Each structure stands twice: as C-alpha cells, then as structure tokens.
Amino acid sequence: MKEPALDLSPSPGDQVKTTTCYMCACRCGIKVWLKDAGPQGPTIRYIQGNAAHPVNRGVLCAKGASGIMQHYSPARLDKPLLRTGERGSGEFKEIEWEDALRIATDWLRPIRERNPDELAFFTGRDQSQALTGWWAQQFGTINYAAHGGFCSVNMAAGGLYTLGGSFWEFGEPDWEHTRYLMLWGVAEDHDSNPIKLGLGRLKARGAKIVAVNPVRSGYGAIADEWIGIRPGSDGLFAFALIHELLRADRIDLDYLVRYANAHWLVLRDPGGADDGLFARDAEGRPLCFDRNTGAPADANAIGITPAVVGEVALADGRHAVPAFQLVAERYLDPQYAPEAVSERCGIPADTIRRIARELAEAAFDSGLTLPVPWTDAWGREHPEMVGRPVAMHAMRGISAHSNGFHTCRALHLLQLLLGAVDAPGSFRYQPPFPKPIPPPNRPGRTRKDNGALDAPPLGFVHTPADLLVDAEGRPRRIDHAFSWAYPLAAHGMLHTVIRNAHAGDPHRIDTLLMFMANMSWNSAMNTAETMRWLTDRDEDGGYRIPRIIYSDAYASEMVAYADLVLPDTTYLERFDAISLLDRPISDADGAADAIRQPVLEAARQRAQDGKPRDVRGFQSVLLDLGARLGLPGMVDEDGAPLYRDYADYIVRHERAPGVGLLAGWRGEDGEQHGKGAPHPRQLQRYIDNGGFWREEVPEHARYFKMANRGYLEWARKLGFVGSAEPIVLQLYSETLQRFRLAAQGHGPHRPPPEHRERIAAYFDPLPIWYEPFEHDQTSREAFPLNAVTQRPMFMYHAWGSQNAWLRQIAARNYLYLHPDTAARHGLADEDWAVVASHHGQITAQVKFAGNVQPDTVWTWNAIGKRRGAWRLDKDAPEGSEGFLLNHLISDRLPRGDYANADPVTGQAAWFDLRVNLRKADGADQAQPQFPPLPYAPADPRPLRYGADLRARSKTR
Amino acid sequence: MHPAWSVIVFTTLSGAGYGLMVWLGALQWMGRFPVDGAPPWLWAALLLKGLVLSTLGLLSSMLHLGKPGRAWRAFSQWRTSWLSREGVLAVLTALVALALLAPAVLEAAMPRYRLALAPAATRTLLAALVAAPLLTVVCTAMIYASLKPIPAWRHRLVVPAYLAFALLSGAALLGAAQAVTAGAVPAAVAIAIAALALLTGALKWIYWRDIDRQALPVTRGDAIGLPGREPQVFERPHTEGNYLTREMGFVLARRHARKLRAIALFLFAALPALLAALALAVPAAALVALPAAAVAVLLGAMTERWLFFAQARHVVMLYY
Amino acid sequence: MTALPPPSKKKLGLVIDLDTCVGCHACATSCKEWNAAGIAGPLTDERPYGKDPSGVWFNRVHSYELAGGDGACPPPAMPAPPALTLPALTLHFPRSCLHCEQPACVTVCPTGASYKRAEDGIVLVDEDKCIGCKLCSWACPYGAREYSAVEGVMKKCTLCVDRIYNEHLDEAERQPACVQACPTRARHFGDLADPESDVSRLVAERGGVDLMPQLGYRPTNKYLPPRPRRAGTEADAAAPAEDTLERDKLPAALRWLDRMLSR
Ligand SMILES: Nc1nc2c(c(=O)[nH]1)N[C@H]1C(S)=C(S)[C@@H](COP(=O)(O)OP(=O)(O)OC[C@H]3O[C@@H](n4cnc5c(=O)[nH]c(N)nc54)[C@H](O)[C@@H]3O)O[C@H]1N2
Ligand SMILES: Nc1nc2c(c(=O)[nH]1)N[C@H]1C(S)=C(S)[C@@H](COP(=O)(O)OP(=O)(O)OC[C@H]3O[C@@H](n4cnc5c(=O)[nH]c(N)nc54)[C@H](O)[C@@H]3O)O[C@H]1N2
Ligand code: SF4
Ligand code: SF4
Ligand code: SF4
Ligand code: SF4
Ligand code: SF4
Ligand SMILES: [Mo]
C-alpha cells in the first residue's frame, strides 16, 4: 500500500489582514487569515501572531489563538436592546439603532443642560480612554473614570509620583541585559506576551529569576527561586533588603545624587508649616549642601559635591538634612532588620540577607557596561553606559492591597538605591515615559462657557488645592476620587460608583453610562449588594439609579442591569486606535501605537437567529451621541457632526495642534511622526505597515532617559515631554508631605477633622509599611487565612468563558490550599468548604496544592459565572461549581468608615481579604446562587469549526 | 480501561462459539460424536450455533466502530495487526464451518441431492475447525496481550485464560445441548466441564493475584521525563473529562473488584464444577444441571471480562 | 502500510523545554486553531457551551507539583553539584504526539489508516481509512490519540504537516502552529536525525530526554528537563562582607559624612 497523497500546501486562506488582538489588554499584532465562504463573506481560517509586531514578535497567547471562538461566540449581542422587564431580570426587546440613539439623546440632553455631573460615565476594560475621557470632558461631567482605580493605580501612582514612569505598562525589565529579575506579585500582567518572551530570553541566557508571590505557578514555576511571601508584607521585605544594603553600604550614592533627590535638603522644623518641605532658594530651586564650597547650592547644579548626610544650618537659621539621611535613618532602624520582619513576611532572615547580597552582587559586581557614548541632560559626554543588571517588575500582588502605594514606592526606593532605574540591565522606561514628577496634567474641575470641563476629568493631584472637594472638604465626585479620603486617586474609583450612586453620595445622579465593565459580577466587590443597589427603588417607585446605559459586545452578567444596551462590535469588526495618549504599547527601545481595522464586516455576519448582525462600534456611537447632543468638538458651527465615525475622528481630530490619536504618518504628506497635521491617508499607512507605527529610540538615548539629553530631545520632538529638562527621581516625596502638613493644620486647604489622622499617617514622604486594613480590623483568630485570586493565562476576566475552546481548559475553579492548611481545617482533597470573611460566605470546592504559602488560599479569577449568563447552559460548570471570591470582598473596610482601598490612591484592596474555612457537609455546588439569567442558551450541537473550510481546501 | 458492554458481551459469546466449534471438530475428528440418544442433526445444529455466536460477536464489535461501513478494511493489515489477524481468522473459521455445514444444509434444503465431501477433505476441515477458532481466540487475546501501555494485559496468562474460557464455555454449551437433546451426557463431558472450570478458575486466580502485586512498569516521573521524582497532579489540562479520561481513566474501587471477582469465580468455576459433578453423580439431574452450568459459565465469563477491562490500568493515566 | 517503513533519513519532531514552559496553553489552542480547518480537521467539540464540554485537542498542557528532593536523580547529562538538593517545583508539561520510531499505535492498526511517513517519520492517520476501532489509542502510552465520537474517526497531532511544507507560507512560518505561538519560545521544531540541527544541539546541550524509554517506543520528540534552580543555599547567607557599620559609635547614617560624591 502506498501512503495517501496529502495536500501539503493547502491555501491558508484567500486573504490575510493585519490588526491588533483584543482578547486582552496586551494588544499584540495579529494576522487574520480569511477564507471566502460564499454569501456570508469571508470566514476566519486562522489567526496568528504578526512576527513584525513590536509587542509580540509573532507569538500568540492561548486567548489570542482562540480568537475564532471569541468572534463567533454565540453570546454576541446583535441588536440594541431596551429593557422590558424589571431591571436585572434580563428581559429586553430588540430596537432599531435610530430609536436607541434617540432614547439615549433624550436622556442625556436634559442632564447636560441641568448639571452634567449627573451623568456618571465609567468604562472598564477599554483602551479608548483617549476618546472616552475627552468625550466626558466635552460633556462636562467630572464623574468619569476607567477601571484603573480598581486595577493598578497603586502601581501607576507609586511609579509616577516617584520615577515618572512605572511598572505596569509603562516600563519593562531590560530583557536583553538583566542578570537578576525579581517578580513581585505578578501572575500574568498586561504585558502578557512581552513578559513571556522576556522570561524565555532570560532563561536562555541563564539569568536568575526570583518570584516573590504567595503562590508558585506560571512565571513562579520557572523562577530559580520562589519566595512564598505572606500577602501584604512585601513592603517589609523590601525594607529589610534596603536595611541590609544600607548596612553593607552596597548602594549607588553617585546615582542617587545624579538622578534622584537624595541630596536635596529637607527642612527640619517640627510643627512648622515648612517642616519636611525641601529647602529652596529664592527662585524656588531646591538646595543641597556642597562639600566643596561648604555652603548650600542649587541641588540641580553640576560640578558640585553634594553631601548626603549631615545637618545643615541655612542662612535663614532653619535646619535641614539631605533626604538620603532620612532614608538611612529610617531603614537602618532595627525594626527593619531581617530578623525583625522574617516572621511577618514568612521569609527566613538568612534568605533575606542572601537576596540582599545577590542583588548587590548582580548590580555592582557584574561589570556590565555598554560601549555606547551618550550625553547627559547637562551636556556632559559619557563614553559608555554603566549597567546595573538588576531588574524588578511588580504588579497586582503589590497593587491590590491597601498598603500598595507605599509598597510600590518601597520597591522603587530599593531600585533607586541599587542605581537600577533605566540603567543597562535594570527596569527601563517605555516612551512616552518618563514624565515630569508628578505628571503635569491635573484633573478638570470647572466648566467652561461651552459646558466642557477645563481639563480631562482624570489627572494628577499635586497639592491639596487640586482636590475635587467642596467648601466643606466633602467629595465632589461620585466615586470620591481626589477627595480627602483618596487624594491621589489618579484613575478614579470604579469600585465605589454604584454604592455612591445608589446612596446619592455626594449627590444623586441621573444616568450611569458604562462601557465594557462587568460591574454586576466579577469586577464588583460586594457583588450581591451591588446587584441590589442597581435594582433598588425609591419610595416613589423609581430606580434609585434612574437610568443605566451600557455598551457590551456579549451577553454578560452586567447586560441584565441596563435599561438600554448598545451592542458593540467584536474586536475584528471595528477601527480602534491604540494611542500613545491612552495606554501605550511602546517598548523601552521604541515608541509605538497601533490600530484595529475591521477584518470582517459586522453587517455580513449572522446573528443567532440568522438575521444580519446590527451592531456598531461604541466609539462611533459615542461620537454620534456627542453630535446629537451638540457637544463642543463634535459638531461644527452649524451643529452638523464633525466626524463621520470613529475612523474619521482618529484621522482628523487634533487634541492640540499637531497632536492626534495616532503619532505615525502625520503631516500633509504623511511624512511626519509624533506631531504634525492630520494626514488623510493615515489609516491606510498603518494598514500598509501591518497595523502599527513604531519609532526607535536612538541608540544613545536608550538608557538614563530621565537625564539623557538625546532621549529628552527626542521625546520633546515627539511631544512626550514639554522640555528637555532632566527629570529628578523622587526618593523623598514633597508632594506627599504637603498633604501631611495640611492634615497637621497648615495651609489654606485642610482636611476635615475626620480625615486628619489618616492623611497625617499615610502621606509619609518616605515609604512606610502598615498592616493591610482588613488584617488589622478583623480578628486574626476568626479569619486566619489570606485569600487571593490570580489571572489564568488562558482567560481574560469574565469574557473567556463564552469561548468554546478556552472554557474547556477551565470550566470551573477550585479553592487551592496547602495540604497542611487543609489538615488544620479538617478538609480532605476535593471537599466542599464554607469560606467566610467578615463580610459574607461562599461555598466552594477545595483542592490541595503544595505550591502555596500555607496561610494563603487562592483561586483563578473570574471563572465563576452567573447561571445563564454568556448563553452558557444553565447547568454549565461555570455556574454550578465555579465561584467568585468577590462575594466575600467587602467594598467598605470592616470598620465601615472608608472604601476597602488604599488611603492614598483609592486603589481597591482585593487581596486584603481574610477568611476562615470549614467543611461544608453535603454540599455539591457553589454558593451563593442567583436566579439564572434568561438569555437564550447557545446551540447545543457539536461544534465542527473548520469542517466546511477544510472540505473546500481539499484538492482531491 | 472503560469496560464497554458491546465488547464484553460479544467477546464472551464469540469465545463460547469458537470453543464450541473446537469441541465439535475435535470430537468428530475422533469419531466421538454424536452421543447416544442425541438426534443426528445435533452436530450440525451446534456448529451452526457456534457460527452464529461468533458472527454475532464480529457484528457487534463492528457496531462498536466509529465507521462500521468501512469494516472491510480491517482485514488488510494481518502482517502487523492482531486485530486484523483476528478478522482474517474469524472469516476463515466461518468458511470452514460453512464448508462443513454445506452437506447438511444442502440435504435439508434439497433432500434429493447429496453432497458428500471426500473423507480426506472432511478430516482436513475438521482439523481446521479445531485450529482456526483456537487461533482466532489467540488473536483476540493477543490484541490485548500485545499492548505495552496496559501492563495487566501483558500477563503471560492472558492468552491461556482466553483459550480456557473459550474451551470451558464451548464445553458447557455442548454439555447443555447434549443434556437437553439426549437427556444425559457422557461422563467425559461432565468431567471436562468440571476440570476446565477448575483450571480456568486457577488461571484467573493466579492472574488476579499477580496483577494485584504488579506495579506499573513506569512511574509518573518517567512519564514526564523526570525519573526518580514524584510528581503530584496540580492541574489537569482541562477541568472536565475528555476522551482519554473516559476511555482509559476508568477506575474500579478495590472493594468492588474483590466482590465481583468472588462472584465471577463462583459463576464460571465453582458452580459449573459442582453442577457437572452433580450431573456425574445423578445422571438424571444433567438435564437441569448442565444448562444451568452453561448459563453460569457465560455469566461468570462476562463478569470476568468486565473485570479484565475495568481493572486494567493504562499508563497514560499517569499523566492524570 | 501499518508495517513501519525503514528508518527515515529525516526525523522531524519537537523539542519542548520544561525549564521555560510557563503553562500558558498557547500551544494547545493555537494547535486547535490551525488544525480545525487543517488536514485533520475538524477538531470537534461536544457540548461546547454546556455541562461537560469535551473536544478533540492534539496538545494538552498538564501541571504538576514536585516535592523537593536530595538530588539523587539529576537530569541526565547534568551531573549534580555535590550538595545539590532538588527544590520543590511546579512543572508545566505540554503533551502531544511524540512521533515515535517504534509506534505501536501504527502497527496495531487493522486498516492501514495509521501510518508513519517514510520521508520524515511523521505519524499520521488517514481518516478516509480509519474505522474508529480506537485500538491505536490503547496502544499509545502517551495519550496522543484523540477519538471523536461525532466524526467516528481517530485524530492526532500531524506535526502540522500542512504547515511545515506549505509553500503558501513564508519560509519562517513553515513550522508547527504550536511552535510559532509559544510565547516563551519553549518549543522547538526540527530534524532530530541531523546531529547538526539546532534541535539536536539543544538536546545534546541540555540533556534532552525520552519519555518512558522503557516502553521501547523510541519517541522522536525530546523534553528538556528543568535546569537546577539557582536558589542559593542558606549556607552562603553570611552577612555581606563589607559590613563596616559600627553601630555603637555614630548614628548609623553618619557613616556617609565624608563621602565625596560628584554631580
Ligand atoms: N476577586 C477579584 N476581582 C477582581 C480582580 C481580582 O484580581 N480579583 N481584578 C479586578 C481587575 S484588575 C479588573 S481590571 C476587573 C476586570 O473586570 P471587568 O472590567 O468587568 O472585565 P470583564 O469581566 O472582562 O468584563 C468586561 C466586559 O466587557 C465586555 N466586552 C468584551 N469585549 C468587548 C468589546 O469589544 N466591546 C464592549 N463594549 N464590551 C466588550 C465583556 O463582555 C464584559 O462584559 O476585575 C476586577 N475584579
Ligand atoms: N490572561 C490574562 N491576562 C490578564 C488579565 C486576565 O484576566 N487574563 N487581566 C489583565 C488585568 S486587568 C490586569 S490588572 C493584569 C493583572 O496582572 P497580575 O498583576 O499578574 O494580576 P493577578 O493575577 O491579580 O496576580 C497577582 C499575583 O499576585 C500574587 N499576590 C497576591 N497577594 C500578594 C502579595 O501580598 N504579595 C505578593 N508578592 N504577591 C501577591 C498572586 O498570587 C498573583 O500571582 O493582568 C492583565 N492580564
Ligand atoms: S496577550 Fe494574547 S490575548 Fe492579549 S493581546 Fe496578546 S495575543 Fe491577544
Ligand atoms: S506518541 Fe503515541 S500516537 Fe504518537 S507515535 Fe508515539 S505511540 Fe503513536
Ligand atoms: S481507530 Fe482508526 S487509526 Fe486507530 S487503529 Fe483503528 S482504524 Fe487504525
Ligand atoms: S505540531 Fe501541530 S498538530 Fe502537533 S501539537 Fe503542534 S500544533 Fe498541534
Ligand atoms: S505555549 Fe509554550 S509556554 Fe505555553 S504551555 Fe505551550 S510550551 Fe508552555
Ligand atoms: Mo485590571
């Protein structure tokens, strides 16, 4: 018998289109192969990574490679929906777009006329804040935010108020040169594929990887060393490392005086209004003490020999010490010795000492220099770049605690002491970062004559005067961001909106407009109450939150709580801009942005009932609504719409002269980059280039970006910074001290009495560590365990479960716990357990895993689903066995006085959760259960995707 | 391994059919058939019965296929595949049986014609009627015994036990038929049944004892390329079941196994031996005792076959 | 046909680096995606949105916990340093067809549907001949065969034979889907018969192993075992040598009083 004749070169498709993946926020470049499938138009044959793309270099993750199932998901919404039943019941009728837009306009117009703040516009997982934030500004509401407040604002703020850049998406380890990488509380992060690519490179090179994480899975699994830390104690661990480095004098003082404010003099005037502020000269320039001249000098001058310790008497008689001395005094204190923190952190003191030594060796003894001449910001030439090949990356394991802001600053302090910020081998900024510290844009606060806000609603608070509070010091925003309770809430606080809107605190709102956020389920704290607030009524019978407009692409749990549902397209059906004005996709060696283009036409796709899909991209809808409302910037003098749709806006809109959503191919002829007039064929240029634009940072400008003239000038040219002034890294934060002084009764803007103690305690200008609030406010005996979640690499929050392939990987979750912990609680493997917190209880099935710190239990995030949601069968495991920890997480602190959040930034403290466990006798399904949503279930027949495509491709 | 009823019922029945053929061939070849008092058509009728049983087996195993319509392809790979060989020999066996049945069938259908086979041809066919079914059963057993990933099936007694079961159930069917048609059985048959029952019981008992002691030849450490280490499963690739976990992942609790083994042993060994002894001691009882013994053997064999699958561990489950 | 061809000159296969695999499942879903409409498609999913969803996958990613040990069994070709103790490990382990050189899955096949390609050693199923008897899946110790009850035939990893020779694809993309997707680049594809190939070198350098070699299937695919972790031992945790701090003399911070730094 002969081998069968195989067609080894079947056509992979009739056409291929490049666009940007959106199965998560990593934004990889993809190539979508399409095959013609008759009247329905092209069908997806295959999605692969785009090898030319700077983010993913051709690789693809589990989600990205399941894009076919995401696009063809039976849970897609197909037409605008108007609520017919009770809110929350999930009963709707389909309506036409014209009606939907008219209804929305009718609801919004009076609000804008009456009081634009009565519109709360909150968006979730989107990457169109460059548009949505601007739209809110033009509408005139201060009540706008995206999801960053419950996500990672501790990292963003911790970094931006210290380094002018941050972990998260604003920086990356020097994958090419680092020899020592510490990963603090990272399971997956937004840079999914870049981190994996990077780890692969470190592995190939034999660099050491240390994972600090109560759980060892994923990245931790391949780390050389796992530090199974007790949750919430990373700050202490960092302090002990700092203590050891200071003790051994293994720190980079030259770096600290050159690039940071270590030598800046801090006034010592206990009780005075200037205590803890920097000593400044008449021009406001910070001072240092120059050992050469023996006198105070401009701290930013060059050619001086600044002192880093020693008290100085200033000409005016005041006393001051260099900031570094405050650092040294604080962290050399025996309370931060390895022995002293070991028990709380769950890390042996010897291990801490060894890690400190390894860090110092890697940073200082590696001899890494790059033979690249460069010029610093003061014009001095350097023949080479001296490396400090220790890199750190941290994310929500640090961020999602109520002490996360300070812990993040503690990590940055550790990096700074090692000279390991933007040096070869260390953490590196991704353009447009670094930015001035803090970034200059402050939150909008007043309305202009045309009704628009004076600035975008989100920004960075510099002083108490920037807060959004009323004359009595009460919050102005519905989420209480930028109030005395959460002054630096740079990303807003999506996690408090629904409670406050229900309570009318500080005021009632009329309409809640939400986009891409599953706020009745996995992105809510206190889930059951959230559902109640969404549906609760006033005495007069009306809903307390009168109207809810929501845009989703799929039949999520949240859809059921909307009055009007605006169905979005899938990510393969629309234009999008992945803009430098929003969340950049740059890497440390280049600035980049990208687009999404429709590779499939929504109208040629079929709905569940066989009719053509009738959906519109939300961004286009938003512009349409804006034009109908006559919002400034969206209509011309005659009131006619300025933009045809979002694609048109991407190309033609200018935020400032020459600045638009996309930085590539600007100017009349499309030859300018960064800034330039709109270029009519810009989108086509992107498409021709594989969907993205990238401009390399010149080689001499790639390190020490905060003080590298080559970089700063390049960045100024592209519009990333206003001037080429060096950016001084803030070891010691005067911004924080200003708030503390206000709390101590200084200055015109002072917190109301109830907030004073809190502000004074948590606005320490140097990093501090304190027990996460829930740990302290609950009994350690009653709730002895920490409970955390992790991102599964193969799911994106809630929206992976509708994916026929991804859900097979995990159709339900377990609560993982150490066998010793189980033994202590009388639990056997696969027992069902009641898990209780101070706030509530759930029932979940436990499973043993040795790879977790024994005081911690954990589960995969967002696997549990409400029955009926996402058009899964009512008996799907996601609903019957899957569960959420969110039911246990309170949105308020146990004491009830503040949100369950960081006191500086308002970041939601998801991971402060403390629980206890007991065996649940007789249980065989997860609790709590809610009434199933009545969405029509998906086609139960076997899915034979590709069967028809294959037949066509056969050549026999 | 997942015990599929189709396979169990019909390997049992086809084994019985082949066993019966072997006895018919051997006895005829030795001139020891028919028995006194039995009708002259009994031999042919029994041969037909053997043919039917074995063909039912084949057909049912075809129904168990994903694409029964293509079953004919299964004859092609006799050079390497025991399953293919089983198919080829099964057909050969059926042809032999048909050839031997031809004269009787022809006579019954058209009494005016007679077909007489040359004595030499008859003897050759009778020899083939002994050899072909035996070899078919060997092939069936070898399908299992050749599978390295299922160590319990690699045991040296698997082939003997399959043969023993075929001969035992064949003998039991023969005995029952003779008892019913002739009202009595030759002592030799009863003795043979009793002896085979005890022998089969002994074989199975040794087999079970051995596989209980047998560790898998490889460990989970070997399975993932880290011999000497002891991995525990942290997460399966998929939270719900898949083809492998359903097909290879069947696990039978030890407690149940012990009970089922006792039942099986009683049914296919102890009870038939006792009933055969009874028939020997009280010939009049044979009419009831031997059919009962046959039923017991078949039920016992089926239970045993179920255990044969349910207790076999596939090394792939090391991954789970 | 199910008789094995003489050993092929080329032995195409995968090398999977367990030291680098983070268990992300990208290889599993990208495999499903390419192959759904490839020569072995569809990879049918039953009850795709229901209870107990179950589909055909050519590649599945397991994860294990390994307790720490005393270093008695270092990976071959990597002699244990004297006092090496094996740390506890979480290990991710992708499992697909190994394209064995002695594949009993082929020889047991009664129809000739299973075969090993003479040219490059890839083991395939010709679905047009398969009768769905499942015997080959019983014969595979590695669980690499996937039966679809809906399709009635056996399926398995094709080593993406319709990619690796596919003239419609760029040269660089002529590799299996799982290799192309793997975000850590823990998967490598090449000719393991050629000692000079990248994959063969990797196997030699890193002590690549066969899975369950005792069974005699002689897999072509190799796995690179996790390297010894460089956790460092507490024995060398002594305080840093440069500790010059004399606590009782000065306030500790003042030790830097005389430090000459230049800005
Ligand atoms: N316990 C616990 N809870 C957590 C976390 C945790 O770690 N632990 N993490 C928190 C964090 S950091 C985050 S960011 C949140 C995330 O939580 P969410 O922001 O709620 O994320 P998703 O669940 O993915 O829901 C987003 C919604 O967007 C919809 N969607 C998907 N694609 C599109 C589209 O193209 N257009 C439109 N209009 N809609 C679309 C989905 O259908 C879904 O309803 O969860 C938070 N919740
Ligand atoms: N595949 C996938 N990728 C995603 C997402 C997704 O849903 N799926 N979501 C995206 C979003 S919105 C976000 S915000 C990012 C978040 O990305 P990650 O920051 O990776 O977020 P988490 O998975 O919440 O993981 C936090 C890690 O911190 C650990 N941890 C918890 N408490 C502590 C602690 O006190 N100390 C230390 N050191 N570790 C701790 C947990 O065990 C976990 O491993 O991921 C993004 N990327
Ligand atoms: S990491 Fe995965 S899901 Fe996220 S954008 Fe990249 S390919 Fe898509
Ligand atoms: S792994 Fe299994 S299916 Fe693949 S060749 Fe080897 S025995 Fe056959
Ligand atoms: S299932 Fe198909 S490929 Fe497997 S042995 Fe049977 S006929 Fe051959
Ligand atoms: S080689 Fe191809 S068929 Fe095989 S596992 Fe990889 S992607 Fe799947
Ligand atoms: S894609 Fe790579 S890293 Fe991910 S599971 Fe597969 S082999 Fe491991
Ligand atoms: Mo997030």
Q: How many helices (H) and strands (E) does chain C have?
A: 6, 11
Assess A601–C contact: CB distance below 8 Å, yes or no: no
B108 vs B73, higher pLDDT:
B73
Residue C226, CB-side half-sphere exposure with 13 Å CA sphere = 28
Residue range A385-399: average pLDDT?
98
Q: Which of residues 57-96 of B touch C (CB under 8 A)?
A: 64-68, 70-71, 73-77, 79-84, 87
CB A927 within 8 A of CB A527: no
How many whole angstroms separate alpha carbon A704 and alpha carbon A376? 8
Rounded-to-10 torsion of CA C6, C8, C14, C17: 90
State the pLDDT confidence band at B60, using cuts at 50, 70 and 90.
confident
Task: Specify the residue with its C-alpha closest to ligand 5, atom 2.
Answer: C130
Residue C251: C-alpha distances to residues A294, A307, A761, B210 (Å): 22, 16, 25, 77
Residues 6+ apart with CB under 8 A from A337: A240, A243, A349
Contact C257 A221 (CB under 8 A): no
At residue C80, the pLDDT reads 43
Alpha helix ranges (H) inside A206-280? 219-222, 234-247, 253-259
Residue range B39-64: average pLDDT?
88
Three-state SS string over A794-809 comes to CCCHHHHCCCCCHHHH
Of C75, C141, C210, nearest to B149 by CB-CB distance is C141
Length of chain C: 263
Find the residue in C nearest to B73 (Cα).
C111
Instruction: Provide the β-strand partners of residue C6.
Output: none
State the angle between helix axes of B286-310 and B254-265 in degrees (0 to 180), rounded to the nearest 10: 150
Q: Are strands A171-173 and A427-429 parallel, antiparallel or unpaired?
A: antiparallel
pLDDT of residue C33 exceeding 90:
yes
Which residues of chain B have a CB within 8 Å of the CB of C63? Answer: 233-235
Residue range C188-213: average pLDDT?
97
**How do the residues of chain A divide into helix, strand and coil, expressed in percent and rounded to 5?**
30, 20, 50
At residue C233, the pLDDT reads 56
At residue C74, the pLDDT reads 40
Residues 6+ apart with CB under 8 A from A137: A144, A444, A452, A453, A455, A456, A457
How many whole angstroms separate alpha carbon A146 and alpha carbon A493? 8
- In short, whether A193's Cβ falls inside 6 Å of ligand 3 is yes
Phi-psi region of A108 (alpha: psi -120 to 50; beta: other; left: phi over 0): alpha
In this structure, the number of other CB atoms found within 10 A of the CB of residue A279 comes to 25
How many whole angstroms separate alpha carbon A170 and alpha carbon A395? 12
Lowest pLDDT segment from A479-483, B38-42, C62-66 = B38-42
Instruction: Provide the β-strand partners of residue A172.
Output: A428
pLDDT in tens, A701-729: 999 999 999 999 999 999 999 999 999 99
Q: DSSP of A82-100, one letter per residue?
A: EE-SSTTS--EEE--HHHH
Contact B234 A849 (CB under 8 A): yes
**pTM for the complete prediction?**
0.96
pLDDT in tens, A662-713: 999 999 999 999 999 999 999 999 999 999 999 999 999 999 999 999 999 9
pLDDT in tens, A809-844: 999 999 999 999 999 999 999 999 999 999 999 999
Tokens of A640: 């006619």
In ligand 5, the atom with minimum distance to the C-alpha of C147 is 1
Residues 6+ apart with CB under 8 A from A52: A29, A58, A690
Which residues of chain C have a CB within 8 Å of the CB of A945? Answer: 36-37, 41-43, 45
Q: What is the CATH code of the structural domain delimited by B5-318? A: 1.20.1630.10
Q: DSSP of A659-699, one letter per residue?
A: B-S--SSBSTTS-B-SS-S--TTHHHHHHHTTSEEEEEPPG
pLDDT in tens, A534-589: 999 999 999 999 999 999 999 999 999 999 999 999 999 999 999 999 988 999 99
At residue B213, the pLDDT reads 93
Residue range A417-425: average pLDDT?
98
Instruction: Find the helix or strand (DSSP H, E) in which A20 lies.
Output: strand A15-20
Instruction: Provide the β-strand partners of residue A266.
Output: A278, A321
At residue C244, the pLDDT reads 57
- In short, whether A23's Cβ falls inside 6 Å of ligand 3 is yes
pLDDT of residue A590 exceeding 50:
yes
Q: DSSP of A27-47, one letter per residue?
A: --EEEEEEEE-GGG-EEEEEE
pLDDT in tens, A504-525: 999 999 999 999 999 999 999 9
Which residues have CB less than 5 Å away from ligand 8 (the ion)?
A 151
Assess A850–C contact: CB distance below 8 Å, yes or no: yes
Burial label for C194, CB within 10 Å (0-12, 13-18, 19+), is: middle
Length of chain B: 320
pLDDT of residue A84 exceeding 50:
yes
Residue range C79-103: average pLDDT?
80
Of residues A132, A130, A131, the one with CA closest to residue A119 = A132
At residue B5, the pLDDT reads 87
Q: Using CB atoms, list chains with 3+ pairs below 8 Å to chain C.
A: A, B
pLDDT in tens, A189-198: 999 999 999 9
How many whole angstroms separate alpha carbon A331 and alpha carbon C47? 59
Instruction: Tell me what percent of the residues of chain A surpass a pLDDT of 90.
Output: 96
State the pLDDT confidence band at C250, using cuts at 50, 70 and 90.
low
User: Residue for token digits 């193969």?
Assistant: A794
- In short, whether C159's Cβ falls inside 6 Å of ligand 6 is yes
At residue C1, the pLDDT reads 59
At residue C81, the pLDDT reads 44
At residue B35, the pLDDT reads 72
Summary mean pLDDT of chain C: 89
Q: DSSP of A175-187, one letter per residue?
A: TTT-SEEEEES-S
Q: Which of C15, C20, C21 to mutate to test the pocket of ligand 7 (most atoms within 8 A of CB)?
A: C21
How many whole angstroms separate alpha carbon A699 and alpha carbon C196? 36
Residue A234: C-alpha distances to residues A486, A852, B281, C207 (Å): 22, 16, 87, 37
Of residues A737, A764, A760, A766, the one with CA closest to residue A327 = A766
CB A514 within 8 A of CB A551: yes
Residues 6+ apart with CB under 8 A from A803: A63, A66, A69, A70, A73
Rounded-to-10 torsion of CA B198, B200, B202, B203: 170
pLDDT in tens, A604-659: 888 888 889 999 999 999 999 999 999 999 999 999 999 999 999 999 999 999 99
How many whole angstroms separate alpha carbon A913 and alpha carbon A892? 12
Residues 6+ apart with CB under 8 A from A705: A422, A428, A429, A431, A433, A434, A697, A711, A712, A715
Three-state SS string over A765-823 comes to CCCCCCCCHHHHHCCCCCCCEEEEEECCCCCCHHHHCCCCCHHHHCCCCCEEECHHHHH
pLDDT of residue A1 exceeding 80:
no
At residue C243, the pLDDT reads 55
At residue A439, the pLDDT reads 96
Assess B218–C contact: CB distance below 8 Å, yes or no: yes
- Chain centre distance of CA C35: 18
Instruction: Find the helix or strand (DSSP H, E) in which A18 lies.
Output: strand A15-20
Phi-psi region of B315 (alpha: psi -120 to 50; beta: other; left: phi over 0): alpha
Q: Tell me: cis bond preceding A877? Omega within 30 of 0 counts.
A: no
pLDDT of residue C234 exceeding 70:
no
Assess B226–C contact: CB distance below 8 Å, yes or no: yes
Rounded-to-10 torsion of CA A206, A208, A214, A220: -10
In ligand 5, the atom with minimum distance to the C-alpha of C132 is 1
Chain B interface mutation, best of C14, C52, C108, C125, highest count of B Cβ atoms under 10 Å? C108
Residues 6+ apart with CB under 8 A from A203: A209, A222, C17, C19, C20, C184
Residue A445: C-alpha distances to residues A86, A117, A141, A273, A903 (Å): 36, 11, 9, 27, 22
Length of chain A: 956
- In short, whether C220's Cβ falls inside 6 Å of ligand 6 is no
Find the residue in B nearest to A812 (Cα).
B239
Task: Indicate the SS3 state at residue A387.
Answer: coil
Q: How far is B233 from chain A (nearest CA, A)?
A: 9
Residue range A168-186: average pLDDT?
95
- In short, whether C187's Cβ falls inside 6 Å of ligand 4 is no
CB A346 within 8 A of CB A853: yes
At residue A948, the pLDDT reads 87
Q: Using CB atoms, list chains with 3+ pairs below 8 Å to chain B.
A: A, C
